[in-house]
Amino acid sequence: MEEMKNTIIKLKEELEEKENDIIKLKEENERLKQQVVIYNDNRTTNHNYILQINNYKDTKYEGNINNLIKYIGKSIYLNTIKNVFLNKEKPENHNIYVADKNRGIIKIWNEGIWQSKNMIIIDEIINNIVEYFNLSIEEIKQDKNRYEKLKKTIINKVNYIQMCDLNYLDDLEDDEDENKERIERCKDFRKMVYDEIIILLHDNKNMVKESHKKIKTKIN
């Protein structure tokens, strides 16, 4: 009899644990539903599909090496921003915009909500682009044939990556007197890129917000 009681108690505990797991799964499912956008694809048939908006923090920069090869100067960075965050063909990455240039407010999409941040996010984006291109250049170097074809172009463009690279700037500042002119050029260039990105993310905020107007909090 005692053994049967213990078995019943154990079964009840297991049932409660499973019910708690189901509740957690339902809550997670509701959270994910709040991050989806319904789009209508008119390019083929009149077919609706569900698209999840990526968290800003999870945004990938891959596939933009051509921006380094094709463009020069600040255009390398601005076109990468356009391809990653402001691409009409990739609304899943519409997860950032500058809400107020004057007050320095930037909005990023994380975990189904807009979060207000300061402009330090712009520095983060520049650092991410620099890191991406540095890694991409190293990968290209591993392919000798490809590197030989692109070597001249890459060498000419590396300068623009270095000028926004804070590690490179730190190395220059180890001998500040010797590198004074180069240090100033790097700081000026990075500031120019920084300011232009703010303008770009501000001027295109309506496109980003328009995507999010289609967010459904409940899917039938």
Strand 113-117 and strand 105-110: the pairing is antiparallel
> What pLDDT is recorded for position 63?
87
Distance CA 73, CA 159 (A): 9
How far, rounded to the nearest angstrom, does the alpha carbon of residue 168 sit from its chain's CA centroid?
23
DSSP per-residue letters across 2-31: HHHHHHHHHHHHHHHHHHHHHHHHHHHHHH
Which of these, 80, 81, 75, 72, lies nearest to 158 by C-alpha position? 72
By three-state DSSP, how is residue 1 classified? coil
CB atoms within 10 A of CB 29: 10
Q: Sheet holding 113-117: strands in order across?
A: 96-100, 105-110, 113-117
Distance CA 178, CA 181 (A): 8
Tokens at 14, concatenated: 């297991």
> What pLDDT is recorded for position 212?
84
Q: What is this structure's pTM?
A: 0.76
Distance CA 181, CA 188 (A): 11
pLDDT by residue, tens only, the chain of 220 residues: 555 555 556 655 666 666 666 766 666 665 555 555 455 544 444 445 456 789 999 999 988 888 998 999 999 999 999 999 999 999 999 999 999 999 999 999 998 899 999 999 999 999 999 999 999 999 999 999 998 999 999 998 999 999 999 999 999 999 999 999 999 999 999 999 999 999 999 999 999 998 887 764 333 3
By three-state DSSP, how is residue 120 classified? helix
Tokens at 68, concatenated: 């380094």
Whether 109 and 95 have beta carbons less than 8 Å apart is answered as yes
